[in-house]
Amino acid sequence: MPEKGSTIKFQNYHKQLQAPFVIYADFEAITEKVSGCTPNNNGSYTEAYQKHKYCSYAYKVVCCYDDQYAKPVQSYRGENAVNKLLYKMLDEVKYCRSIINYKFNKDLFLIFEKSLFKNQQHVTFVGKSTTNPISVSEITVT
C-alpha cells in the first residue's frame, strides 16, 4: 500500500488499450428561477434558487480505428431531451457493439522470439475462440 499522503501516478501509457468507439455528448439547459425555502439557522440546508430544464442535446460517435464507422453529429431540440438521448445512446451502443463484433473482433496473438517463448515458466493466451487459458505446455513452437 502507498504511504498516506503519497501520490500514485500512472506511467505505463504505452500499455493502455484504445477504446474502439467514443461518444462525445453535450446537454443544453435553460435555468428557471424557483422560490426558495425559509433558511433554518439550527442546521445546514441547501437553498435552491434555480432549476435546470434540459432543452437540447448533441452527440457524435467517433471510431478510433476507422473513420468510416464514425457518425455525423446528431442533435435534438425539444421536450424530453434527457429521455430521448438515453434511448439514442442505447441504439448507439448496439451499433458500436455490432461493428466491434463483425469488424474488429480478432483473435489475440502474441509474438515472441522462439528462445524467449520456450524459456517462459507460465504464459497464458486468451483468444476469441477459447474460454479456457492455454498453458505453454499445450503450444508447439516451430
Name residue, grid cell 500499455: 15
Sheet holding 50-63, edge to edge: 21-33, 50-63, 74-77
Segment 106-126, tens digit of pLDDT? 554 444 444 455 555 544 444
Segment 97-106, tens digit of pLDDT? 999 888 877 5
- Residue 124 sits at the vertex; the CA angle it makes with 118 and 130, to the nearest 5 degrees, is 125
Where do runs of H (alpha helix) occur along 2-126?
A: 81-99, 114-118
**Cβ contact 60:67 at 8 Å:** no
Mean pLDDT of all residues in 120-133: 47
pLDDT at 92: 95
What are the b/e assignments for 30-57, b being 16+ CB within 10 Å? eeeeeeeeeeeeeeeeeeeeeeeebebb
Q: Tell whether the model's pLDDT for residue 129 goes beyond 50.
A: no
